[in-house]
Structure 1
Amino acid sequence: MTETDHKKILAERLSARFGRRAVLKGMGAGIVAATAGGSFPSVARAQQSGHLKIASIKVIDTLDPHFTGFLSAIQIINNIHNGLLKIVYDGENVTFEPDLAETWDLEDDKTHVFKLREGVKFHDGTPCDAEAVKFSLLRVKEGEPKSPHAWKLALLDEIEIVDPLTLKLHFSQPYAFLPVALNGSTGRAGTIVSPAAVEKYGTDYGRNPVGTGPFKFVSWRENDAIELEANTEYFEPDMPKLEKVTFVLMNEASTALAALMSGQIDGMTDCPMQLVDQVEAFPKANLYGEIEGNYTFLGMNCKKGPFTDMNLRKAVAWALDRETLVKQAYFGRAQQAYTPISPPMTDFFDPDIATSGRGQWFDLEKAKEFRAMAEEQGEIEVTYMMAERGPVGTRVAQTIAPMLAKIGIKVNLELIEPATWVKRRNEGDFDLYDFEWVADLDPDETIYPEFRSDGAWNFCGWVNTEFDELCQQAQVILDSEGRKELYYKAEDLLMDEAPIGIMAHMPIYKVFSDKVQGFQYIPADLVNLHTVSLA
């Protein structure tokens, strides 16, 4: 098989995966661009001006890309760092294109060659070369403490430095997920950090990030703001345009919207659904958003408490009235989910899934049958921890509680602060919680890291080694139909044993003042400010 054949197979495998208004349909074009070779034009330096103030609504755990589990953090990280690859959206298609890599080639189906841009430096003045890239990849793959993104590089056998600007990545098997893993946005495994800064700050790197991106980190004032300033030596022409960016840390989205309408801030990284009507009615704001690769779910603790009983979990899963949830909790803007794989993944999503017999849906009689088989009969009392976080706040919890009462489960709703909610979820200190996994670009990241038996994000504590093996097999198959068959089997196990009750696929919204120009929407929950300016 020739080199061109390898590129073609990978490009075709990825190009069909997403439809219009979603990520990855243009992957074929991205591979061509990545492997075309040639030099980038000489950089034209931008003249920076303007101070953008944007409300960051959700919890930010760390600005270390190799350890964050939050897209709210990536929204900031992606303005400080770059990846080997990046996601580009033209309004119709999204491609993976070179970022720190100047070219990306394939010697065979297991050997990827990356030629880096010349002269790129980290914000601390140290060079971004092959050694730095190798450092970042190994930090993810085998560093201590262990990165939650290490699974993305599990098949990476060797990193060969050919010359100061060229690396060969040798994999044990063909790896279909690699382009997603190596983008510096949602992938995170391919985000490149300054080795000198990691050595200097150690575990505090997440509070002192040093990348190559269009903006430099300045400060993080707890419960106040994260400040960035322009990187005047940024390698992309005419970027950035802003002199300064302040991410104002605001817990209340309604307060943020009021600040936007009064001109105190210029945008919001997230706009909850309950505020969308107000934004649409406000003439001096622009709303961005559509249904993206995501799913929402009710999580149940499989390690302790009443939901160690699978029959009780199944009863809950079948008791959720998704139609009511979409209307009441998601303001009619979401779409009922049957399994985690979402509609934008056109090469994997089944448009007829509602009549396929696969997945979970509302069936109260079936829920009662499973409830009758549960170990504990009579009324069961559980705690549902909730917080004013996410696209709809506590509306999901409030909508679900009366549904579970119909199968003899008394739900005590516990309202806690978002940061406490995250801590307790991560520690497994809950009976029930609801959450959303967003910005998924591939079925692998849709289910595998979240529910792998020993996964860092498997907060429910569900264990099924057959599920693990099916996902691992799918990672090394380039054929879409073969991958789909394996992921369907894995999904079926997940839906049948019900560590979660699947709920909806939802749109993700962002809003900016009409003074903000040049924002390029990417349907992966990103807030890239590279091209943004203020009128």
Structure 2
Amino acid sequence: MRSSKNSSRRTAIAMASVAAVLVLAGCSGSTTSTDKTASGTLAINWGGFPESWAPGAEMESGYLRVPYETLVSLDAQGEIRPVLATKWEQTDEALTLTLREGVTFHDGTPFDAEAVKVNLESIRDGKTAYAGPLKVIESIDAVDEHTVRINLAQPTPSLLTQLSTRGAPMGSPKAIKAGTIAQSPVGTGPWAYDAKSSTKGTRMSFQYYDGYWDGEDSVGFQTVELYAIPEDNAATGALATGEIALTDTETSQFSRIESNSALKHLSYPALRNNPMFFDRGKGGAFEDVKVRQAACYALNTEEIAKLEPDFKVRSQHFSEGEPGYNPEVTGYTHDLAKAKELMAEAGNPKVQVEMLAAPFNEKQMQVYAEQLGKIGIDVSVQPAAPPQYFSQWNSGRYALGLGSNDELTPYDWYQAWFAEDAPGNPGKAESAELKKAADAAIAAGATDEADALWQDVTKIISDEALTCAHLAGEELIAWNTKAVTDVKASAQPWETNAIDYKALRPAGK
């Protein structure tokens, strides 16, 4: 998935002025193994760079999981596995973590309980994309150097899952306090950012960190270089020549990739996409549930799926088998007559709203604006550069927005977007029915009744049409087998650009 819909573009500055060597390489059809690979350098293209590297910022795993690590991770079976935390014990009142000893950040700062406290508090208390799910943290105690107790305001069995995601990487507390971490990441991962070897806007270089806790044998490459090639044809050409070893891609490139025996590709579900009705408070454009429902029936996701072949139409946010999935939720199948009927019942109000668009989703928004116009909802799509888009699209300035919800549990999804104090609910609107259902599900904690209660929450969110028109997209990754082997999708679910960097090995070694 690339700029047309990839949420990596929500954190990327798509720069057309790519390094000349890569663009020129993209014109060639040959396949070579580069000196980079031979010297232990892995060159990867994700099409841009994050606007901010600070913990809690919206950066994708393709970037984040080079310098950073999380406290725990998920394996392919969805089980929690140790990373920076080696043991844990959770009750309804607290989550206690035993931390790995002998770990340091790239600036030499010790990784300890105080570091965890600084990271989680900065994410929870800052204006971050992932603050919502961490609001449950009442306080954090550094019990001793390698033990941290996270005190909870309410039972939160999903907290460990949240700590495994890109929403909670561990960054140097020294760099966080200095504010430098936004532009210069400092984590505990195998590779440390090397500003001197980097070229602003073109290449970011990360060198193996000699103090890495898991040792040099745990990685296959000494250097990881991230490139910013936003144009698909140029990226495929650079891949074919071996100037880069791996890239995200699009289905339009498959014929070129498959015609070259050295190139391979894979895909996996990585993106959830849906419009959000932000202005639903008292007097808001979408205050009336019938107007929101009418909008949902007017939207035709099948048209989007035709435009974007790797998008699949969904009835709801969660997949079958995931917590929160409710088989009774059938979604809003496109029905223009039903949409017009609901608008009439609402009194055919004059609805004029704006929504902000970025280059990667403007086409989809224009289609939605045209569809909503058929029932009298006038949507003005305002193009914006990615930095403006990411800071404003869900700020409350715009009544309607198109985003990607990557929350893995219904608790996190509710706390991120629908609770009265959720960061993604700028209008602070929440019905009494939804709050009552969510409170009951939260109180149930990890009991057998909890899943059914969260399914009730999912259904209310659908019935109230707080969001709809769900789509699921696939991440598409291509690589040059003469440069790199052992490429596979990460076990972390619903992460774009997700690969297991530590598992990658130079070809022929």
TM-score (norm 2): 0.79
Q: 1:370 aligns with which of 342, 364, 381?
A: 342
Distance 1:159 1:504 in 2: 37
- Please point out which of 516, 519, 523 is paired with 2:484: 516
Task: Write the deviation string for residues 252-295 of structure 1: whole angstroms up to 9, x where unpaired.
Answer: 34433333234332222x43455456545553333232235x53
For 1:110 and 1:148, locate their aligned partners in 2 and report how far apart those are by CA, in whole Å.
Answer: 25
Counterpart residue identity of residue 80, structure 2: F
Deviation of 1:367 (Å): 0.4
Partner of 2:19: none
1:175 aligned to 2:147?
Answer: no
Letter aligned with residue 174 of structure 1:
P
Contact 1:87 1:97 (8 Å CA) reproduced:
yes
**Counterpart among 178, 188, 196 of residue 174 in structure 2:** 196
Aligned counterpart in structure 2 of residue 325 of structure 1, from 286, 299, 304? 304
Structure 1 unmatched ranges of 5 or more: 1-46
How far has the Cα of 1:382 moved from its partner? 5.3
Query: Does the 8 A contact of 1:517 with 1:532 survive in 2?
Result: yes
Distance 2:131 2:354 in 1: 33
Cα offset for 1:68? 0.8
Q: Displacement, 1:445?
A: 2.5
In the alignment, does 2:271 pair up with 1:299?
A: no
Partner of 1:43: none
For residue 63 of structure 2, the aligned residue among 76, 94, 106 is 76
* 1:338 has 2:315 as partner: yes
Please report the RMSD computed on the Cα atoms of aligned residues, expressed in angstroms. 3.3
Any idea what the Cα deviations from partners look like across 1:412-462, whole Å, max 9, x if unmatched?
A: 555443333324414444454433223x32222334302333322336865
Query: Map of 1:392-403 to 2, 5 A cutoff?
Result: 393-403=361-371
Determine the C-alpha separation between the residues in 2 that align with 1:387 and 1:209. Answer: 25
Distance of 1:172 and 1:450 partners within structure 2: 19
1:529 to 487, 501, 506: 501
Instruction: Give 1:175 deviation, angstroms.
Output: 2.2
Q: Identical aligned pairs, as a percentage?
A: 23
| 2:187 matched residue in structure 1 | 211
Q: Distance in 1 between matches of 2:474 and 2:311?
A: 6
Unaligned runs of 5+ in 2: 1-36
Distance across 1 between alignment mates of 2:254 and 2:377: 33
- Mapped to 1, the partners of 2:220 and 2:194 lie a distance apart of 17
Runs of 4+ with >6 A deviation: none
Aligned length: 461
The aligned amino acid for 1:223 is G
Q: Tell me the alpha carbon deviations over residues 458-512 of structure 1, each in whole angstroms, 9 at most, x when there is no partner.
A: 3686544543453354345344753333333323332233343323223222222
Show the counterpart of 1:85.
72
Matches within 5 A, 1:140-155: 140-141=123-124, 143=125, 145-155=126-136
Residue of structure 2 equivalent to 1:186:
166
Q: TM-score of the superposition, structure 1-length normalised?
A: 0.75
The letter for the 2-side match of 1:56 is W
Contact 1:80 1:211 in 2 (8 A): yes
Following TM superposition, by how much is the alpha carbon of 1:212 offset from its aligned partner in structure 2, in angstroms? 1.0
1:443-522 matched pairs, under 5 angstroms: 443-458=410-425, 462-464=429-431, 466-479=433-446, 482-514=449-481, 515-522=483-490
- Pair 1:471–1:49, CA change in 2 (3 A): farther
Residues 172 and 125 of structure 1, relative CA distance in 2, 3 Å threshold: same
Counterparts of 1:64-463 in structure 2 under 5 Å? 64-65=54-55, 67-70=56-59, 72=60, 74-89=61-76, 93-106=77-90, 108=91, 110-141=93-124, 143=125, 145-183=126-164, 185-188=165-168, 191-199=169-177, 201-202=178-179, 204-219=180-195, 222-237=200-215, 238-268=217-247, 270-276=248-254, 278-280=256-258, 282-292=260-270, 295-302=272-279, 306-326=285-305, 328-331=306-309, 333-343=310-320, 345=322, 347-350=323-326, 353=327, 356=328, 358-376=330-348, 383=354, 385-389=356-360, 393-409=361-377, 413-430=381-398, 432-438=400-406, 440-458=407-425, 462-463=429-430
